[in-house]
Amino acid sequence: MLLGLAQPTSGEGMVLGSPLGTLEARRQVGYLPELFRYQSWLKAREVLGLHCRLAQLERSSWPAAIKGALATVGLSDRADDKVAGFSKGMQQRLGLGVALLGNPRLVLLDEPTSALDPVGRHDVREVVRGLRDQGAAVFLNSHLLSEVELVCDRVAVVDHGRVVAAGRLDELLARPQVRVRCTGLSAEARQALSAFGEITDDEGWLTVGGIGSDRVPDLVRAIVDGGGRVHAVDPGQQTLEERFLQLIEAA
Amino acid sequence: MATWVIASVTWRELVRRKLVFALLALTAIVIGVTGWGFSRVPGLHLDGQPLTQGEIHTAAAQLLLLVMFMFSFVLALTCAFLAAPAVAGDLESGVAQGLLARPLRRRELILGRWLGLALPITVYTVFSTTLEFGLVHWTTGYWPGQPIAAEAALLVEGLVLLTFTLALSTRISAITAGVIAVIAFGTMWLGGVAGAFGQVFHNNAITNVGVVTHFLIPTDGLWHAAVYAMEPSAFATEAARGLGSSFEAASGPTAGYLAWVAVWLVAVLGLALFSFQSREA
C-alpha cells in the first residue's frame, strides 16, 4: 500500500511527505519484495540499469550507481551474467542492490534474508546498518526475529494484520529478569525476596522479574543471608521471539 | 518516457528469447517453400494446354489467399502467445512488483507492453507480406489490387487479437488468456463462415451470426477486408452473387466498419488500462 501495489479501502497516509502510493512517494523509496524475481534474460548489470531508468536517476550517475550497488551486495564479479543462472540467494542480493539504487530515503525490505546463507545474512545486516548510518530509514519485515533483534531500533509486532505492540526494542522486550538456582531457602526468606521483584518458581529455579542488573549481587546476598545456597545465577534477557509469543498469546 | 522504457525492455526480451530469430527463420522457410510452389504455376497445363496469363493470375490469387490465410492464423497465434504472458506472467512471477514500486504509472506499463509487442508485430507483418507479394509477382506476374490495404488489414487483425489478449492478461493467468484468445479467434472465423453460409442459403438468422462476429471481435471482418484487397475483381463478383467463402469477399470494409474497428481497439485497450489500474499487483 505504501508503494501503491495494493489499494487502501479507506483512509489516507503519507510517505516522506507525499500521499502513499504516489509517484513522488515512490521516487524516494527502495523496495525488495518478498517474492523477488527479475528478468531472467537480462544480465545483473542490465537489471540495475533498467531500474536506474525507471527510478529516473540522472543518466550520468548510472554507471557509478550500478557499480556501487553490485559491490555492496557482493555481485561485482557476476555483473555480466544473466539472472537465469543466479541462485535464489544471488537473486535476493540483486534485489537488495536494486532497492539501494538512487540512495533512497526509505528502504522497504520484505524478508530480505529468506534465501541467504549466514554470510549473506551478515552482509545484509551490514547493509542495513550502513543505510541507517547514511540517514535512511529501513523498514524490515521478517519472520526471522533473531535478525530483527540484531539490526532494528524499533519493532512492531503484527498479528492478523493488527499491530499488537510497537516501540523501541529495549522497551518492547519484557522487564529484565534474573534466574537463580538455589536450595535451602526458608519460606520467610523467599517471601522477603519479593522486595527485589516478582518471584516465580520454575523447577528449582527462582525467577525474579523486574530486577535491575545492579541489584543482582544484593539479591544473591539476601538469599545467602536467608540460609539458601546459590548454585547458579542466570541474568537472562528475554529474546524477541519469547516476547513475540507472549504478545501473540495475550492478543 | 517510462512507456518507452517498458517497450524497449519488451523488444529486448523478444530478441533475447530468440523469438525474432525464430520468426525470421520460419519466414525464410515459408517464403522458400511458397516461392517454389508459385514458380511452378506458370508451367502448369490444363487439358493439355499451357495456362493462359489470366488462368495463371487466377491460380496465383487463389494460392496467395491460401498462403495469407495461413499467415493470418500464424500472426493471430503469435499475437496471442506474446500478449498472454505480457502482464499475467509478470504478475505471477513477481517481476511486476519490482517494476510498479518504481515511479511508473500502471498505464505506462500496459502501454509500454502494448507498444513493445505491436511494433515488432508491425515490422514482421509488413516485411513478410511485402516479401510474399513480391515473390508472387516475380514468379507469376500477379499483384494484389490493394497491397497496402491488405497489409494494413492483416496487421490490424493481429493488433486486435494482441489487444484483446493483453486485456485478458491483466486479470487472468497467461495460459488461460492465451487459450481464450485462440478459441475466440477460431470462433470468430467460424462465425464468418456461418455468415457466408447464411448468404448462400438466404437465411437471415445465420447471416446475422457472421455480422455479429464481425463486430464482436473484428478479426474475421478484417480478414475479409484483406481478402478483398488481395483478390482479383472476378472473385469479388463471384462473392457478390452469393457464392462467398472465407477466401472471397464481395466488397471492401465500409468506412463505418473501419471506424468501429478503431473504436473497438481504443475501448479494449482502455479496458485493459482500467482493469490493471484497479487490481492489486
DSSP, residue by residue, A89-100: HHHHHHHHHHHH
CA nearest to A43 within chain B: B16
Cβ–Cβ contact A53 with B under 8 A: yes
Residue A208 counted as domain residue: yes
Cβ–Cβ contact A36 with B under 8 A: yes
A207-245 pLDDT tens trace: 888 787 788 899 999 999 888 899 999 877 778 887 888
The distance in angstroms from the start CA to the end CA of chain A is 25
Same domain, A56 and A146: yes
Interface contact flag, A35 B94, Cβ < 8 Å: yes
Q: Into how many domains does chain B fold? A: 1
Nearest CA to B185 among B72, B108, B98, B86? Answer: B72
Q: Quick check: B230 and B248 in contact, CB under 8 A? A: no
A55/chain B closest Cα distance in angstroms: 6
What pLDDT does A110 receive? 94
Interface contact flag, A55 B97, Cβ < 8 Å: no
CA nearest to A6 within chain B: B280
Q: Which residues of chain B approach chain A closer than 8 Å at the C-beta? A: 2, 5, 9, 12-13, 16-17, 93-95, 97-105, 278, 280-281
Q: Into how many domains does chain A fold? A: 2
A122/chain B closest Cα distance in angstroms: 24
B148-174 pLDDT tens trace: 999 999 999 999 999 999 999 999 999
What pLDDT does B242 receive? 65
Residue A147: which CATH number?
Answer: 3.40.50.300
- Percent of residues, chain A, with pLDDT higher than 70: 99
Range of the domain at A135: 14-152
Residue A208: which CATH number?
Answer: 3.30.70
- What ipTM describes this predicted complex? 0.87
Same domain, A74 and A148: yes
- Percent of residues, chain A, with pLDDT higher than 90: 57
Same domain, A95 and A32: yes
Q: Let me know if A70 is exposed, middle or buried by CB neighbors in 10 A (0-12, 13-18, 19+).
A: buried
What nine digits make up the cell of B25? 527463420
Four-point Cα dihedral A36, A39, A41, A45, nearest 10? -90
Beta bridge partners of A30: A107
C-alpha–C-alpha distance, residues A11 and A22, integer Å: 15
Domain limit, last residue, from A152, A167, A191? A152
Cβ–Cβ contact A24 with B under 8 A: yes
What nine digits make up the cell of B2? 517510462
pTM of the model: 0.87
What pLDDT does A199 receive? 86
Candidate from A7, A23, A38 with C-beta closest to B95: A38
Q: Let me know if B16 is exposed, middle or buried by CB neighbors in 10 A (0-12, 13-18, 19+).
A: middle
Residue A1 counted as domain residue: no
Same domain, A136 and A19: yes
Same domain, A201 and A108: no
Give Cα separations from A7 to A2, B20, B87, B278 (angstroms): 9, 38, 19, 8
Please, which residues have CB within 8 angstroms of residue A102's CB and are 6 or more apart in sequence?
A30, A52, A55, A57, A65
C-alpha–C-alpha distance, residues B157 and B77, integer Å: 11
Nearest CA to B60 among B49, B48, B44? Answer: B44
A2-49 pLDDT tens trace: 899 998 889 999 999 999 989 999 999 999 999 899 999 999 999 999
Mean pLDDT of chain B: 93
Candidate from A26, A36, A95 with C-beta closest to B103: A26
Mean pLDDT to the nearest integer, A181-201 = 86
Rg of chain A over Cα atoms, rounded to whole angstroms, equals: 25
What pLDDT does A174 receive? 63
Residue A24 counted as domain residue: yes
Candidate from A6, A56, A98 with C-beta closest to B280: A6
Interface contact flag, B12 A42, Cβ < 8 Å: yes
Interface contact flag, A54 B102, Cβ < 8 Å: yes
Range of the domain at B175: 2-278
Mean pLDDT to the nearest integer, A57-76 = 95
